[in-house]
Amino acid sequence: MQANRFPITSVPLWQRVVAIIALIFGALTLFSGGSILFGPESARAAAGNYVPFVLWFNFIAGLFYVLAAVGIWLGRAWALPLSIVIALATLLIALLFLYHILVGEAYEMRTVVALGLRTGVWGVIALALYRRQK
Q: Which residue stretches of the chain have pLDDT < 70?
A: 1-9, 134
Q: What are the structural domain ranges in the chain?
A: 13-133
pLDDT digits (tens, 9 = 90+) for 54-84: 999 999 999 999 999 999 999 999 999 999 9
- The 3-state secondary structure of 15-77 reads HHHHHHHHHHHHHHHHHHHHHHHHCCHHHHHHHCCCCHHHHHHHHHHHHHHHHHHHHHHHCCC
Q: Whole-angstrom Cα distance, residue 112 to residue 43? A: 19
pTM for the full model? Answer: 0.89
Contacting residues for 62 by C-beta, under 8 A, at least 6 apart: 26, 27, 29, 30, 33
